[in-house]
């Protein structure tokens, strides 16, 4: 059970009793205020996002402390992120549906209900999820998960909704589950290409561990199927070997970013980096690759992490002032005492996107 878990960021004030529905609303509103002038469209999308989680989101947050969620380093079932480009920024939230009676991951039927609410309330096409949901069903122990959900605010009418599935909880081995899902989604040839490039047995070791399988929900050409690989105990050359498959791969860029975030040997990081390969039905190879670099616990504080993030932003041609405003709102003036910054990711070299992920708190010292 988590004790003394942080409830909000430094500059967010919420009336009690505190619930995760109010936490999500207040933090998304703060991010939007910080990143851009008041926007009625953003307010409507935040209302949509907050209407979708089930009854667990209305429980006092203390009641759910017994569950240590995979979502955030401090065990909270919510984490926020903000994606920055040369032309703007966007706010996002990731959360895990919880069982209010057990404080544990909801049974698959409850998680499916969240997806069905998207279909019923917002007319989001969830057919891809329905095609593969049974492959990823199984019990998840505390600290693991069966499904996570995300919403990214957009300039359109509704947010982009995503689901993240755990290939390790079903009856099949992770690579078998992913292979079956890719086949059902019409991406069998792309999966075969990946296995041929990396080697048939590569997923049995820690260097390219299958971590997550994700879907963009909706029927639009850019809707992605995503495979996340965790790279423990290997050097940048192995990460580069995965990235080389992607259509937007830029040689030697990812090793450079790894060094920018932490110049110690990658194979010795306390928490391993990940890559994400994104697949589209129209592309014979992965359309893009994203690099995820852990900040907490690999760096000592938000102050140290902020220096690394600013270096990456400047390397990418993205002005760092917005990031500075957001991290001050999250951690206040005591960046050296905070560990809220959990990850930073990089994608799309032609027009870079740098995304910073922040929990309500960080790994306990």
- Which is more confidently placed, 252 or 66? 252
Asked whether residue 363 is domain-assigned, the answer is: no
Question: pLDDT class for 294, splitting at 50, 70, 90?
Answer: very high
pLDDT above 50: residue 1: no
Q: What was the pLDDT predicted at 97?
A: 87
- pLDDT for 268-285, tens place per residue? 999 999 999 999 999 999
- Examine residue 13 and state whether it is found in any structural domain, yes or no: no
pLDDT digits (tens, 9 = 90+) for 153-198: 999 999 999 999 999 988 889 999 999 999 999 999 999 999 999 9
Mean pLDDT of 9-17: 84
Mean pLDDT of all residues belonging to the chain: 91
32-46, 213-227, 250-264, 315-329: least confident range: 32-46
According to the model, what pLDDT value does residue 329 have?
87
pLDDT tier at 5 (50, 70, 90 boundaries)? low
Q: What is the pLDDT of residues 48-107, one digit of tens each?
A: 999 999 899 999 998 888 888 999 999 999 999 999 999 999 999 999 988 766 544 544
* 4: pLDDT strictly greater than 80: no
Print the SS3 string covering the chain: CCCCCCCCCCCCCCCCCCEHHHHHHHHHHHHHHHHCCCCHHHHHHHHHHHHCCCHHHHCEHHHHCCCCCCCCCCCCCEEEEEEECCCCEEEEEEECCEECCCCEECCHHHHHHHHHHHHHHHCCCCHHHHHHHHHHCCCCCCCCCCEEEEEECCCCCCCEEEEEECCCCCCCCHHHHHHHHHHHCCCHHHHHHHHHHHCCCHHHCCCCEEEEEEEEECCCCCCCEEEEEECCCCCHHHHHHHHCCCCCCCCCHHHHHHHHHCCCCHHHCCCCCEEEEEECCCCCCCCEEEEEEECCCCCCCHHHHHHHHHHHHHHCCCCCHHHHHHHHHHHCCCHHHCCCEEEEEEECCCCCEEEEEECCCCCCC
pLDDT at 100: 65
- 35 vs 347: which has the higher pLDDT: 347
Across 294-315, average pLDDT: 97
- Tell which wins on pLDDT, 213 or 172: 213
The answer to whether residue 292 scores a pLDDT higher than 80 is yes
**Residue 103 pLDDT:** 45
183 falls within a domain: yes
Confidence of residue 363 (pLDDT cuts 50, 70, 90): confident
Number of domains in the chain: 1
Domain hosting residue 72, numbered range = 20-358
pLDDT at 10: 82
Percent of the chain with pLDDT over 90: 75
Q: Does 333 or 127 have the greater pLDDT score?
A: 127
User: In this structure, is residue 3 part of a structural domain?
Assistant: no
In a domain, 118, yes or no: yes
The reply to whether 165 falls in a domain is yes
Say whether pLDDT at 2 is over 80. Answer: no
Residue 10 lies in a domain: no
Asked whether residue 14 is assigned to any structural domain, the reply reads no
Work out the pLDDT band at 141, boundaries 50, 70, 90: low
pTM of the model: 0.94
């Amino acid at each position: 059970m988590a004790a003394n878990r942080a409830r909000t960021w430094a500059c967010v004030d919420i009336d009690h009793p505190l619930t995760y529905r109010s936490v999500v609303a207040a933090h998304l509103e703060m991010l939007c205020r910080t990143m851009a002038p008041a926007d009625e469209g953003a307010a409507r999308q935040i209302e949509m996002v907050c209407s979708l989680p089930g009854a667990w989101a209305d429980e006092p947050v203390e009641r759910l402390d017994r569950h240590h969620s995979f979502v955030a380093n401090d065990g909270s079932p919510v984490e926020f992120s903000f994606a920055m480009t040369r032309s703007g920024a966007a706010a996002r939230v990731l959360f895990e549906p919880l069982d209010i009676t057990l404080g544990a991951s909801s049974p698959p039927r409850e998680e499916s209900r969240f997806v069905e609410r998207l279909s019923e309330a917002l007319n989001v096409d969830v057919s891809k999820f329905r095609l593969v949901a049974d492959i990823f069903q199984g019990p998840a122990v505390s600290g693991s998960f069966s499904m996570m959900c995300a919403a990214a605010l957009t300039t359109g009418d509704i947010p982009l909704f995503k689901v993240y599935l755990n290939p390790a909880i079903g009856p099949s081995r992770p690579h078998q589950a992913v292979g079956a899902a890719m086949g059902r989604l019409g991406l069998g040839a792309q999966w075969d290409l990946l296995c041929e490039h990396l080697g048939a047995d590569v997923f049995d070791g820690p260097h390219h561990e299958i971590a997550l399988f994700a879907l963009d929900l909706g029927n639009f050409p850019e809707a992605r199927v995503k495979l996340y690989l965790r790279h423990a105990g290997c050097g940048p050359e192995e990460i580069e070997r995965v990235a080389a498959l992607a259509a937007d791969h830029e040689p030697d860029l990812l090793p450079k970013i790894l060094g920018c975030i932490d110049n110690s040997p990658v194979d010795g990081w306390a928490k391993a980096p990940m890559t994400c390969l994104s697949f589209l039905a129209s592309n014979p190879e992965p359309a893009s690759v994203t690099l995820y670099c852990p900040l907490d616990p690999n760096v000592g504080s938000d102050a140290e992490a902020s220096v690394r993030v600013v270096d990456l932003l400047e390397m990418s041609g993205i002005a760092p002032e917005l990031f500075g405003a957001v991290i001050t709102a999250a951690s206040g003036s005591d960046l050296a005492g905070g560990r809220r910054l959990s990850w930073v990711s990089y994608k799309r070299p032609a027009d870079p996107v740098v995304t910073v992920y922040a929990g309500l708190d960080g790994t306990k010292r």
